[in-house]
């Protein structure tokens, strides 16, 4: 864990004059930081010879404060994610001070990076990683409640790590916040529902992360008053902040994260991450200008692409002639892609596509034939089906279409249809999965990746063989006809 070192007025690191704390198995090296609730030391874990951060409760003002401190370690230790700080040990000192031993991170915190200035792509990456982490945290029924730059740390390799779950709450144990100053996050990142002491869920963390995103992009906090109260009121009443024109492509994302009402935000962190990945793909596509990088790579040995690009630069009078050349090249490219496609796609393929923005793999089995008779749903079955539908809908929102195994939308809807073949909500769910594959296929066609598009189409048809969109795409996805048309469309947009 990383904390900014304490310094005296000369700027030197402040070391404790007499460290009397004794914890078996640990050697205290120096004081790292002090806060209102805890003190953090750098220590060596003697059995393994590694640095750790030891966090000790500073004082026992009340029993709840001590309890929250220990709950932090239990919450974090129960989670397993590469973007959540790792807990090594918990215990109590000889003088009854509880402590947590956790990983020591030397990569600094997000506050320092914001002060130096951040590239928008790096900011988006941090939000994607922390958002993916929050998706797991929220599924476990835990809300962090204090998302801010100081609580986002970094490994040496740049991996962002979410820390300080000290005021996190478990939804089934703590349904409302208090305003006693100890269970409330930083006012600069506080969601409106937190400020008004309303019931909160994971969307409060999305709000805090949205404020962090705005700060990473602009270097400024969007809501800042002369006092904490003024800042909190600004969250409740001020208009949504507007990004500078050069960052306008991120405005919709910011708006969707920091909307005043939780209902106007992303429904969960998984949906937010999916949106960010699509936004990143869009940026990648626009930066590739005329040709998709994969298409360029496929012809890199012939040198034809470089010749066409040179023609486009020579003289504006030959732009349309160059466009014709480029279209011809795309026909050749499409032909090469078509020639590389196998006659059929192996229906047993089961490997996840590493470039997809969703959990993606081939469906390895066809739904078993179901009875045409729909059994009468008992009250017990009704409750069970409702629970399965909730899991299925969440998986669909988070784009867990057919992976991971036994925790995906297809798996849950299929469970219902095996017993109740005519169940309306489950049938609609299967159609949504098929349409998700149609969306993915159309996206790949727009990128001239016909092989991948064909795979998505066939995967979708395994789930819903009569899906009109997929059948139409299967019939009309023709690289020789489609590639030149799309090439001309792209050229027209560029030269307009």
Q: Considering the candidates 146, 205, 292, 482, report the single residue annotated as catalytic.
A: 146
For residue 226, give Cα distances in angstroms to 134, 187, 188, 230, 237. 31, 12, 12, 6, 15
Q: Residue 57 in contact with residue 69, Cβ under 8 Å? A: yes
Find where tokens 């749903």 sit: 377
Q: Which string of b and e fits 420-452 if b means at least 16 CB within 10 Å?
A: bbebeebbebbbbbbbbbbebbbbbbebbbbeb
The torsion angle over the Cα atoms of residues 139, 140, 142 and 147, rounded to 10 degrees, is -60
Find where tokens 């019939």 sit: 475
Q: Residue 402 in contact with residue 361, Cβ under 8 Å? A: yes
What φ, ψ does residue 120 adopt, rounded to 5°?
A: -55, -35
The CA-CA-CA angle for residues 224, 226, 231, to 5°, reads: 40
Known catalytic membership, residue 146? yes
Find where tokens 């793909």 sit: 281
DSSP β-bridge partners for residue 170: 142
3/315 Cα distance (integer angstroms)? 57
What φ, ψ does residue 367 adopt, rounded to 5°?
A: -60, 135
Q: Both ends of the chain: CA-CA distance in Å?
A: 52
Which residues are tagged catalytic?
Answer: 146
């Amino acid at each position: 864990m990383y904390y900014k070192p304490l310094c005296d007025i000369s700027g030197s690191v402040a070391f404790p004059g007499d460290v009397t704390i004794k914890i078996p198995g640990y050697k205290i090296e120096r004081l790292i930081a002090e806060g209102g609730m805890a003190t953090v030391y750098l220590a060596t874990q003697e059995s393994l010879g590694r640095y750790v951060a030891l966090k000790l409760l500073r004082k026992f003002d009340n029993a709840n404060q001590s309890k929250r401190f220990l709950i932090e370690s239990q919450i974090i230790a129960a989670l397993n994610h590469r973007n959540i700080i790792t807990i090594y040990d918990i215990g109590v000192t000889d003088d009854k001070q509880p402590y947590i031993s956790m990983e020591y991170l030397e990569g600094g915190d997000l506050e320092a990076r914001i002060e130096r200035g951040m590239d928008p792509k790096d900011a988006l990456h941090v939000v994607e990683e922390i958002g993916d982490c929050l998706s797991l945290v929220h599924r476990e029924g835990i809300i962090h409640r204090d998302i801010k730059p100081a609580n986002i740390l970094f490994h040496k390799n740049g991996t962002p790590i979410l820390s300080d779950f000290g005021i996190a709450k478990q939804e089934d144990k703590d349904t409302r916040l208090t305003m006693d100053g100890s269970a409330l996050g930083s006012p600069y990142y506080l969601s409106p529902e937190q400020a008004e002491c309303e019931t909160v869920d994971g969307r409060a963390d999305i709000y805090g992360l949205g404020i962090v995103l705005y700060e990473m992009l602009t270097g400024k906090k969007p809501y800042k008053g002369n006092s904490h109260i003024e800042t909190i009121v600004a969250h409740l009443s001020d208009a949504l902040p507007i990004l500078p024109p050069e960052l306008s492509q991120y405005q919709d994302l910011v708006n969707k994260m920091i909307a005043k009402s939780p209902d106007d935000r992303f429904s969960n962190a998984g949906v937010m991450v999916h949106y960010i990945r699509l936004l990143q793909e869009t940026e990648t596509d626009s930066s590739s200008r005329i040709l998709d990088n994969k298409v360029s790579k496929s012809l890199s040995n012939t040198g034809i692409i470089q010749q066409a690009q040179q023609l486009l630069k020579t003289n504006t009078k030959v732009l349309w002639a160059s466009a014709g050349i480029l279209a011809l090249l795309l026909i050749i490219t499409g032909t090469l892609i078509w020639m590389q496609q196998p006659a059929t796609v192996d229906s047993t393929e089961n490997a996840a596509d590493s470039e997809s923005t969703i959990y993606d793999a081939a469906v390895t089995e066809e739904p078993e034939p179901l009875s045409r008779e729909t059994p009468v749903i008992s009250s017990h079955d009704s409750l069970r089906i409702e629970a399965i539908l909730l899991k299925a809908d969440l998986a669909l929102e988070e784009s867990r279409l057919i992976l991971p195994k036994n925790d995906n939308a297809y798996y849950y809807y299929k469970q219902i249809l095996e017993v109740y073949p005519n169940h309306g909500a489950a049938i609609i769910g299967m159609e949504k999965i098929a349409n998700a594959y149609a969306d993915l296929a159309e996206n790949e066609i727009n990128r001239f990746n016909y092989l991948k598009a064909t795979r998505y189409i066939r995967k979708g048809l395994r789930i819903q063989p009569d899906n009109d969109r997929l059948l139409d795409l299967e019939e009309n996805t023709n690289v020789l006809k489609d590639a030149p048309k799309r090439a001309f469309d792209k050229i027209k947009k560029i030269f307009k």
